[in-house]
Structure 1
């Protein structure tokens, strides 16, 4: 098996030597042996392991433990336990596919709500009543209002009053949040809907404002999940080849 110095590994992969050391520190690659002078000695396994890690982290999907699972997979692969790493990657792929299905389903729910296929009554509810009706905490309602997702009218006594239109909008927000769309992404979609009721909901959710101060990973949720799914399949192929080559 070929051996390499830190700088040679970095040049081969196209990263900074400090990144190689960081991967070692984080246990994403095996601990390299050292020469008598202290220089690290890397092998082909280290190079392929770094390539695997970089592919794994190329698309960072943070929700529901996916990030944690992929980090665990890389660390297990670094020990040479490719069977366990493959099992984790298959679990990761299955979960990514489920998250994508959830995201797609939430868009269909929004379409149904917007089509008016919901009950219509002349309701005027207080925040506590809305909280109970929609099973959303009052703190969550406050947070959504503070972030501009909803503007609720007040009575003369200062109490907020939620109308049917507000309830419908809250159902939309609730559904999208359950699918892990970010507040920024939902706000962008709601603004687009207010301008054009026939707007493409998926496109509106997937293209947040360019000038947003913070654009979360999940602002492009379906695209990110699709990319993560493709990368997971590539990781499975890489692990299978590494198993044959290094065991």
Structure 2
């Protein structure tokens, strides 16, 4: 079986030797054996695992625990738990697809709001029902309400009632949060939009890139998710091959 030094692994993968050591420290690759002189000894498994790490982190996707899930998958693979790693990457792909659907829906909603074509108000849902419908935790809903992103009406018995407008607003907030916009930026935008539909969305979001608006933000989010999905399919194939080889 071929073995490699740290510098050789780094050269093969195209990374700095310190990055290889960092991967080891973070348990993203198996802990290599050491020779009597203290030098690390790497194998073909380490090479494939390093390649897997590079592909997994090529696209930065942070929203809704996706980063944690992909990291957990990498560590499972590094430990040789390929069945668990394959299960996690499959879940990751499904979640990415859902996040992309959410972003596409947010674009549609914003276009309707800006054009004045809003839907009728027929739904009246409780917080738990909204949590289940949108796959948002009740704590997150409370947090958004406490920060002023949404004001929910109450029935005579004190229960909150969410209307269609509330649901649509929450869907937009969800996608903007997934795109890593701050609660303050989202609140500022929603307040100005409610006062004036002709609000300059680009200026109101006030991000480092002034060209950003809700639609372009969600478009870029969709592109990132699509790229992450492509890489996830590569990882699926790699894990199946590594399971056979190692």
- TM over 0.5, shorter chain: yes
Alpha-carbon RMSD across the aligned residues, in angstroms, is: 3.5
Correspondence for 1:175: 171
**Aligned-partner Cα distance in 2 for 1:172–1:4:** 55
Specify every segment of 5 or more residues in structure 2 that has no aligned partner in the other structure, as ranges: 122-140, 151-164, 212-216
Is the aligned partner of 1:227 residue 2:227? yes
Alignment of structure 1 residues 115-154 onto 2, 5 Å: 115-118=116-119, 137-141=145-149
**Aligned-partner Cα distance in 1 for 2:30–2:236:** 19
SS at match of 2:84: helix
TM-score by structure 1 length? Answer: 0.67
CA offsets 1:140-177 (integer angstroms, 9 cap, x no match): 349xxxxxxxxxxxxxxxxxxxxxxxxx8x98764322
Task: Decide whether the 8 Å contact of 2:106 with 2:218 is kept in 1.
Answer: no
Cα 1:93–1:171 change in 2 (3 A) is closer
Task: Decide whether the 8 Å contact of 2:63 with 2:179 is kept in 1.
Answer: no
Correspondence for 1:105: 105
TM-score by structure 2 length? Answer: 0.67
CA offsets 1:164-198 (integer angstroms, 9 cap, x no match): xxxx8x9876432212234379789x99x84899x
Which structure is larger by alpha-carbon Rg, 1 or 2?
1
Cα 1:211–1:102 change in 2 (3 A) is closer
Tell me by how many angstroms 1:65 deviates: 0.9
Task: Decide whether the 8 Å contact of 1:218 with 1:224 is kept in 2.
Answer: no
Specify every segment of 5 or more residues in structure 1 that has no aligned partner in the other structure, as ranges: 121-133, 143-167, 200-204
Task: Decide whether the 8 Å contact of 1:13 with 1:51 is kept in 2.
Answer: yes
Alignment of structure 1 residues 1-247 onto 2, 5 Å: 1-114=1-114, 115-118=116-119, 137-141=145-149, 174-179=170-175, 180-183=178-181, 194=198, 210=209, 220-246=220-246
Task: Decide whether the 8 Å contact of 1:61 with 1:218 is kept in 2.
Answer: no
